[in-house]
Amino acid sequence: MKILYALRRFVPVFTLGLALASCSKEPAAPAGAPQLVVGFSQIGAESEWRARETESIQKEAAKRGIELKFADAQGRQENQIKALKSFVAQGVDAILLAPQTKLGWDNALLEVQRAGIPVVLVDRGIETKDESLYATLIASDFVEEGRVIGRWLAEKTGGTCNVVELAGTVGSDPAIERAKGFAEAIAAFPGIRVLKSQPAEFTRAKGKEVMEAFLKAEGDAIQAVYAHNDDMALGALQALEEAGKKPGVDVLVLGIDAAKPAFTELVAGKLNALVECSPLLGPLAFDAVEKVLRGESVPKRTLVPDRLFDASNAAEELSKREY
Ligand code: AHR
């Protein structure tokens, strides 16, 4: 069985690594020891967040002396499925998967499971009939992120506002859950009306394009924009400026991620609120991989905590941002 193979390769390295931990700060595998090989199927590079997540996972692999086989799916689930098959063929010890969409993974993951390779989901969850197909999910609570933004909007507008929504990739976990959380939070405020909601693929370019269409259709009626991520919020900001409006003043702009480029605009007052969603998942992901390969139990889900930033706390945070 592959899992036994992984354990055979991994346990001596890990035990020796622990023994050496007191003399060295670098937990890299000792010279000559078999190196752990992990495949990472990444969605693509659609956003600042995604780039920071890739970086975090690559850095952490290097720090731990793990060989990382990185596959960029360029935004296509079929490429991620091909990557999973190729990781099986290459005989990796474990797989990290950031799944683009919620559905459509069972057959591919079954093949991986049959090869005895454990899968750790990072960033996004999947819907499956068989939860044993993956070991654990490490991600933020996307529903809560949407709720936090919805509550912020209700509070700041006294429960009366016309809002447009820039949604993430269709069928993806964050797009579904962030829409759900927001809708839930504003449900108690009939004065908050969602004038339009449309997918904009989590990218800045699409966010701008869709916002331009919203402005054409709704004009001055738009009082707020809720974007499912930073990049679309930044695209909306640009569209608003080009339409002669002052983002952050004439129209409230709200987003999720809170990475540096958007955070800087928050401090400048052009964005009004950002909910954090940390992409720094490398350490948690490899802790989980190592535990699973040692045969230790891991929780089915590890929640990454998020905070809300607005004009009240953004400036003091800016210099401390890690991403
Ligand atoms: O799954 C996390 C989301 O995906 C981030 O919020 C977004 O920026 C990214 O593309």
Contact partners, residue 42, CB within 8 Å, separation at least 6 = 50, 53, 54, 57, 70, 71, 72, 73, 98
CA of 73 to the centre of ligand 1 (A): 15
Does ligand 1 come within 6 angstroms of the Cβ of 229?
yes
Pocket test for ligand 1, best of 43, 203, 256, 257 (most atoms within 8 A of CB): 257
Q: Cα dihedral angle (263, 272, 148, 173), rounded to 10 degrees?
A: -60
The per-residue pLDDT string of the chain (323 residues; one tens digit each, 9 = 90 and over) reads 344 434 544 544 444 444 333 334 444 555 666 699 999 999 999 999 999 999 999 999 999 999 999 999 999 999 999 999 999 999 999 999 999 999 999 999 999 999 999 999 999 999 999 999 999 999 999 999 999 999 999 999 999 999 999 999 999 999 999 999 999 999 999 999 999 999 999 999 999 999 999 999 999 999 999 999 999 999 999 999 999 999 999 999 999 999 999 999 999 999 999 999 999 999 999 999 999 999 999 999 999 999 999 999 999 999 999 99
Tokens for 211, please give them.
């916002």
Tokens for 138, please give them.
């490490």
Atom of ligand 1 nearest to the CA of 174: 1
Does ligand 1 come within 6 angstroms of the Cβ of 202?
yes
Does ligand 1 come within 6 angstroms of the Cβ of 100?
no
CA of 100 to the centre of ligand 1 (A): 10
pLDDT, one tens digit per residue, over 156-184 is: 999 999 999 999 999 999 999 999 999 99
pTM of the shown model: 0.91
Half-sphere exposure of 103 (CA within 13 A, CB side): 3
Query: Residue 104 gets which letter from DSSP?
Result: S
Report pLDDT for 45. Answer: 97
Provide φ and ψ at 25, rounded to 5°. -85, -20
Helices within the chain (DSSP H only): 2-20, 48-63, 77-90, 106-114, 142-157, 173-186, 204-218, 230-242, 260-267, 282-293, 314-318
Closest CA to 257 of 241, 272, 276: 276
Q: What angle do CA 202, 108, 99 make, to 5 degrees?
A: 20
Q: In what order do the strands lie in the sheet with 136-140?
A: 67-72, 37-42, 94-97, 119-122, 136-140, 301-304
Does ligand 1 come within 6 angstroms of the Cβ of 189?
no
Does ligand 1 come within 6 angstroms of the Cβ of 174?
yes
Half-sphere exposure of 168 (CA within 13 A, CB side): 28
Atom of ligand 1 nearest to the CA of 277: 6
Atom of ligand 1 nearest to the CA of 172: 1
Atom of ligand 1 nearest to the CA of 202: 10
CA of 11 to the centre of ligand 1 (A): 34
Strands 224-227 and 252-257: parallel
Query: Residue 91 gets which letter from DSSP?
Result: T
Calpha distance 92→106 (Å, rounded):
19
Ligand 1, atom 3: closest residue by C-alpha: 174
CA of 202 to the centre of ligand 1 (A): 7
Closest CA to 165 of 152, 146, 148: 146
Does ligand 1 come within 6 angstroms of the Cβ of 208?
no
Name the residue type at position 114: R
Provide the sign of the torsion angle of the four alpha carbons 58, 59, 61, 66, taken in this order. positive
Pocket test for ligand 1, best of 49, 124, 126, 256 (most atoms within 8 A of CB): 49
Contact (Cβ atoms closer than 8 angstroms) between residue 80 and residue 43: yes
Calpha distance 109→120 (Å, rounded):
11
Closest CA to 277 of 139, 136, 180: 139
